[in-house]
Each structure stands twice: as structure tokens, then as C-alpha cells.
Structure 1
Amino acid sequence: MNLKQALRHSLEPDELDHLVRSYDVVGDIAIIALPPPLFHRETLIGEAILNINKRIKVVARRDGCCSGEYRITPLKIIAGEQRLETIHREFGVLLHLDLGRVYFSPRSGNERKRLADMVVDDESILVMFSGIAPAPLLLAKHSPAATIIGVEKNSDAHHFALINRKKNRAEKKVSLWCGDVIDLVPSCGMKFDRIVMPLPGSARSFLRLAIHALRCGGHLHLYDFQPQSQFGETVAALQLASHQAGRTMRLDNLVVCGHNSPSSYRICVDASIF
């Protein structure tokens, strides 16, 4: 039974028209987007979700847009337990997090697994903006990479990343650094076989840094938000940054991996840089 079916006798027809059928689930927390006309019904809707899915213990609604340097989404608990801390499982990886303190998107799980499936033996991988470490830990579990380094500026996210590395017994493969990629990546003096840039909307600002840290023939994964008519702009930005660094770029793939809004997509440009 979906949410609209569960509430068909409790909401007015126009209220049902405003209600979304689906919601995100992170661990045992459901996150739903409600339009303002349904705010006065939020408790009823939250209780319905708890009744539909007995594994859900907390229901929260989005209380604004993802904002700030750390992209944290404001949430309001509308039913269930009064907490935003949980443990999420993604392709066998356990992720401990607090949605009130860190950014995490369960919708990117399949994309993280896609990247892991592309890795070949003994790669060294850098994950910029690594958050609570879902990408580094998924790469550690599901790829033959030799070393994975995650860099995260948010100290709260780094705190949970360290917990998650221990929880998943990935200390030998995964190194986690807390700080700004602008400072840490150049100072480490390392060259990587693959670099992941999962910060759509801002990652392009760090292309020069990433290209400099990438070995010749290395692979770069650049995420961005774009309407379909402007996908080429992201590719062109990577081409230009490569040219300015005295390198050449080969486009390997362009993947649509989600929505930012009804008219804007989350895309990943997979490229090799020579």
C-alpha cells in the first residue's frame, strides 16, 4: 500500500492531489517532502508512514532546501522518535550518521556502486568531499582498489566517517583526512589513478586541483547539476580545465544519475585525462 492509498479516507481530494507517493528512507528514518498546504496534516501523514512501514521509527519532513557549505537539509520530525541519528545499510556497507549534522543522499547509492564496478586492480583513488565516507567504504568493499583516500571539511561528517571506517573494518584500505581539499591534496604530493568529485554545483571550481593530482591516463568523475540542454557545458568545462593544465581529455561516458529539480538533473561526466 502506498501513502496515497493509506490516506485516501483521511485527506480531502485536493489534499491527496498535493501528496507525494514516495519518500526517502535513511536507516529507520523516513524523509518526506510536503507542500505548505499539507503542513497542518503533517502528524497524520507521519503516523500513516509509521503504520505502513514498521521498520520506520522516525518520520521527518524537509523544512527547507539543502544549504550552506556542508549542504545540510533542515528537517522537522513529524512522527515517531525524536532523533535524526541512525544506521543506514548500502550494498552491505553500514553508515552511521546524524541527518541534522551531515549531508547524505540514499539516492546516490547505485551511483556509488557503479563507480566501484569500474575500478581495476591496485588503483589509488581520491574521493573529494567524502562526507561520512559512503563512497570510500563502498569502493573498499566492492572494488579491487589498493588505497582510497577521502577528504572532508565538515568535522561532524569526518567524525561519523571514522566511526564508519571502523564499523566496516576498512582501516587498512581507507584513509580519511579532515580538512579542505585545497590545502590537503597538494600537500600530500600524491598522484591518483582515479578521482571522484561528488559535489554537484561546486565541483567544477576544483577541477584544476583534481587534474593536477591525477596520473596521466587517470580517470576523473565530475558531478554537476544541469538541465538536459546544458549537459555539454559540464563537458566543456572539463575540456577547458584539461587544456589549461596542458592535458587532454577523453570523454568516456555521461551518466544521468538523479534529479535536482523537475528540470535539472544530477549528472556524472566520466573522463580519462592524459
Structure 2
Amino acid sequence: MIAETERLPCVKAPKRSGEEIRQALNERKLLRTNAKITSDETSIYLPLIRALTDAEIREIGAADLTTRDFTILEHRKSIEDIVGFKPSYEVVGDIAVLTEAIDNRKEQLVAHALMNRHKNIKVVAKRISAVEGVFRTRKLEIIAGENRTETMHKENGCRYKLDLEKVYFNPRLAGERNRVAAQVARSSVKEEEVLDMFAGVGSFSIQVAIRAPQSHVTAIDINPDAIRYLHENIRLNRVSNIDAVEGDIREICGRFRNTADRIIMNLPKSAYLFLQEALSMLKPQGGILHFYDLEFAYPEEGEEKHDALERAITQAKEKLMVNLQGLGEEFRSVEILEARKVKAYAPYAYIIGIDARVKK
């Protein structure tokens, strides 16, 4: 039987960033999922349901658009087809985690459907607590598969060993991590000193270190398990330009005073509470802050969801500016370079990312 082919619009992406762009397209329902993704020696070709708008190109970072013949795949039953509804889940390594509660009677059905549909999934678990405490951990319950919560996750050419009950890790930030690493790689500062204030297992730090080998990264976290995995991930990824530091940033920031060209503040619920420490660690002339914030914005009467998102972005920018201004004369000026939605957190709740240049 001759396979059916169809000429489709597509994104041509370098292999190192192909997974990030694939996820971004899939999240926005722009990826043609019944067409087989193809590649050559350097690039991956991602089929689209339609041509992208200019705004989508900028948002996704898909610079190279073309057309190509793709093999059309036979229809395979989706998880929704199998179980009769669309369960919410995320995959970290070979572990699928249900992110929303479902009827207990259907948990096993969903778990086995996931494992049968995706042969790489060896464990299915569900969340049984929120993220708790300064270590940012949550409890899981195994539903099916192997009895473990440790896994190896691959992302943007990096490997991360981690335990989902002992450390915080969000697989949906792959695109953001790649974006920050790319900024460091093309920075005009030849040997950037990057400080990751809430580094976890190194999800930002390792990608920065690999993409910008001329840089040096200081990766700090208060969770000893996160630091233990960070040391292991440094070895796994064979990077030597990272220092892993265990400690409370409020207590140890003095060790890094006036040292950083760039600071990553990936703690959306409370990063604004640590701006004084961040400013103290920027070099005397200042530097770049990657500031993350959680904002809620419910649509008002007659308002579109997009308008609510713009309001959330405005709220995040105001929070950053107000809290910086409250620090008095510790800086001269702030320029917001970019502010955008990183991901949806919940209905009408968004993680907002802001890149800001601070002059001290």
C-alpha cells in the first residue's frame, strides 16, 4: 500500500530547538498531528495545520517557514477516543502525572490507556497535594506501572535526573528555558556571569551552560535534594562552567554581591519578595533580570480572554516596578525589554515572564 502524502506548510527548525518548537506548536493546536515529522542532518520539519501569522511566528520563535511533502499517518486512537474524555496530564521522563482529579473508577482506565498509547511511559501517578514549603515539593500516588517517582527527563538536548516527590520540576517551561539560554548564547557580554536564584535540578542553569560555554553559572537552591540532583546532572551533561550552591538566598546573597551580569528569578509566586537580594547581586553597573510572576486576570464584562491576558501582563510589569521603586536608591533605572505569557497556570491565571535591564 502506497502511503498518502500531502504538501503542507511547515516550520524548519534546528534539531537542538526542534522539541521546544514542537511543544509550542502543539500547545497552540497548530501542529498537524496526522502528518509524519521529518528531518535531515541538521534540521527538523514540523508540519502545520495552516500558515502561521506574524504574531505566532514571533511568539513561537519559528523563523524559517517553508512547504514540504509529508507522509499522512493512519488514524490512531487518541487517549480521548479510548477513555471517552480528555484527561489532563504531563510527562516527565517516563512518568505521566495526572494534573487534574478524575473519577477514581476511571483512573486505572486512563493509566493503562496512557501506557498502551505511549510505550515510553512506565509509571502513571496522580497529584495528591499542592506544591508545599520552601523546598517546593508535592506528594504523588502511583496509579499504575513501576513503583517509583525518580526518572530521567530529556529536554532541548539536556538530561535531567530527578525525583518528582523530592524536587520541583515543570516540563512545560522547556521553551522558556531554551529562550533564556539562547539570549545568553548571543549576548554582547562575552563571558557572562549568570546567577540562577532558584535553580532546582538545573533546568535553566544546565541549558545556559551548554548553549553559552563561555559563560559561568552560579546555581543556588535551598533544597538539598535539588542540589544533589543538580550535581548529578552537571556530570550527566558534562558541563564544567556551573557552581552548585546549597542555601537560603536571603542568607547567602552577600557572598555574590556585585557579581552577576544576569539573574534568573524563576519563582513565580514570590520572586518579587527577593528583588532586594537580586539587585545586590547584580554587578555595580547593573544587568539583566529574568523575572517571573503569577497573575490572575478574570475577563470583565464584554472583555475578550486576550484582553484579560494583556491585563495580567500589565499587572506583572506594575508589580515589578512598584517593588523595585520601594527599594529606594539601589538602582537608577529599569527598562522592560519584553513581557509575555510563559504559560497558563490555571483558568485566568498566567505565569508572566519579564526581561528587564536594571542600571544601578
Provide TM-score, normalisation by structure 1: 0.91
Q: Which amino acid aligns with 1:91?
A: N
Give the equivalent residue in structure 2 for 1:270.
355
From 94, 97, 100, the counterpart of 1:31? 97
Q: Counterpart of 1:133?
A: 202
Matched residue, 1:164: 233
Q: 1:189 to 1:33 in 2, by over 3 A?
A: closer
1:242–1:273: 8 Å Cα contact kept in structure 2?
Answer: no
CA separation in 2, counterparts of 1:56 and 1:30?
Answer: 7
Q: Is the CA contact (8 Å cut-off) linking 1:221 and 1:270 kept in structure 2? A: yes
Alignment of 1:202-221 (within 5 A): 202-215=270-283, 216-221=285-290
* Identity %, equivalent residues: 33
User: Which residue does the alignment assign to 2:38?
Assistant: none
Q: Distance in 1 between matches of 2:316 and 2:213?
A: 29
Q: 2:112 — aligned with what? A: 47
CA distance in 2, matches of 1:131, 1:218: 22
Q: Does the CA-based 8 Å contact 1:86-1:97 persist in structure 2? A: yes
Contact 2:313–2:341 (8 Å) recurs in 1: no
Shift of 1:253: 0.3
Asked whether the equivalents of residues 231 and 244 of structure 2 are also in contact (C-alpha less than 8 Å), the reply is yes
For 1:82 and 1:144, how far apart are their aligned partners in 2? 38
Aligned equivalent of 1:95, options 134, 140, 160: 160
Q: Residue 91 of structure 1: CA displacement?
A: 0.8
Aligned match of 1:13? none
Instruction: Give the number of the structure whose alpha-carbon radius of gyration is greater.
Output: 2
For residues 38-187 of structure 1, the aligned pairs below 5 Å read: 38-119=103-184, 120=187, 121-170=190-239, 172-187=240-255
- The code of the aligned residue for 1:33 comes to T
Deviation at 1:144, TM superposition (A): 4.6
Q: Aligned pairs, how many? A: 262
How far apart are the structure 2 equivalents of 1:45 and 1:143? 41
SS in 2 for 1:134: coil
1:196 to 264, 267, 278: 264
Greater shift, 135-144 or 79-88, is seen at 135-144
Q: What is the letter of the counterpart of residue 25 of structure 1?
A: V
Deviations 1:158-196 (A, max 9, x none): 1111110111111x2000100011122212334211000
Which of 312, 316, 320 in structure 2 is aligned with 1:234?
316
C-alpha deviations, 1:208-259, integer Å up to 9, x for none? 1101211224100110111233432332232234432232100100021111
Shift in CA distance, 73/2, structure 1 to aligned 2, threshold 3 Å:
farther
2:306 counterpart residue number: none
Greater relative contact order structure (CA < 8 Å, 6+ sep): 1
Cα distance, 1:48 vs structure 2:
1.0
d(CA) in 1 for partners of 2:81 and 2:334?
A: 50
Q: What is the rounded CA distance, in whole Å, between the counterparts of 2:344 and 2:134 in structure 1?
A: 20
Q: Measure the CA separation in 1 of the matches of 2:135 and 2:358.
A: 29
Point out the more displaced range, 252-261 or 138-147: 138-147
The whole-number CA distance in structure 2 between the counterparts of 1:159 and 1:234 is: 33
The reply on whether 1:250 has 2:332 as its aligned counterpart is: no
| 1:223 aligned counterpart, secondary structure | strand
Q: In structure 1, give the amino acid aligned to 2:318.
A: A
Q: Secondary structure at the match of 1:192?
A: coil
What whole-Å deviation, never above 9, does each CA across 1:1-59 have from its counterpart, x for those lacking one? 32111224xxxxxxx3xx42x521111001113435x1222112111111000110000
Matched letter for residue 206 of structure 2 = L
2:60 counterpart of 1:3: no
CA contact (8 A) 2:313 2:340 kept: no
Q: Which residue matches 1:12? A: none
Mapped contact 2:257–2:280 kept (Cα < 8 A): no
Amino acid at match of 1:32: L
